[in-house]
Amino acid sequence: MKMGRLENRVAIVTGAGQGIGRAIALGMAREGASIFIADINAANAATVKQEITAQGGRAGALCSDISEEQSVRAMVDVALKEFQRIDILVNNAGMFPTSPVEEMQEEEWDRVIGTNLVGTFLCSKAVVPHLLAQRSGRIISLTSGRAFQGAKNGAHYAASKAGIIGFSKSLALELAPHGITVNVLCPGITDTSQPRGHQTEEQIYSQGQRIPLGRIGQPEDLVGPTIFLASDAARFITGQTILANGGGIMW
């Protein structure tokens, strides 16, 4: 029987209870990885765990708030207790409330930066010592086309996502001598609860028509690129930002 591309590896996927994170967790499990699902919604995390185990995969789950260092440490400790190692970190969890800058409260700014950017830092910081001990590993962080284009009524979101790119390049430089790669995956508008919470069906369809490939992304469109970046095939790729957006932004 053909082995999966991620056989015998353990991946933590944050924000894996729904949307892109869920699709990535399920896809990596199909490739043989053991998956640790971290999500702020315990019920969603448990549901995805059940989906993976029902398909014969191995999975653990924990309710985690990636903006809190203590919660992140607990996430890593529980993952290690369950699977004894960590090979891959997928920083996917994030949030996108909307406010124009002149009305934005500092608390909202801090909450978005704290989840999207600080959360990526905290999760990476917690996992890196274990990757260093193995002298191998992959860190893949999800950002957004808003990092390049800006976001009307979402300055905090765009700033956090641009920050992830700069952080990841810096971390890639630090970890490259140890055989650890760090890359960024950048989707465009994707059919998840986030755009559907702010836009009408007509607005979403209109955006899809402006994308060269003629539609908005689906969560499953991010699975292949993530698996590639996590696999041995991408061992010579680090510090890169991969745009998976149907040609909506060409870099």
Residue of 157, 180, 189, 194 marked active site: 157
Q: What's the rounded Cα separation, in Å, for the pair 185 and 225?
A: 8
Rounded distance between C-alpha atoms, residue 76 and residue 87, angstroms:
12
CB atoms within 10 A of CB 50: 12
Rounded to whole angstroms, the Cα distance separating 119 from 4 reads 30
DSSP letter (8 states) at residue 114: I
Residues 6 or more apart whose Cβ sits within 8 Å of residue 17 = 37, 39, 40, 41, 43, 44, 45, 47, 48
Q: Could you tell me the CA-to-CA distances from 105 to 20, 115, 151, 152, 223 in Å, in that order?
A: 28, 16, 17, 16, 35
| Of residues 219, 216, 225, the one with CA closest to residue 246 | 216
Which residues are CB-contacts of 105 (< 8 A; sequence separation ≥ 6)?
99
- Gap between the Cα atoms of 217 and 117, Å rounded: 23
d(C-alpha 2, C-alpha 15), whole Å: 30
Q: Is 205 a catalytic residue?
A: no
Is residue 10 a contact partner of residue 85, using CB atoms and an 8 Å limit?
A: yes
List active site positions.
157
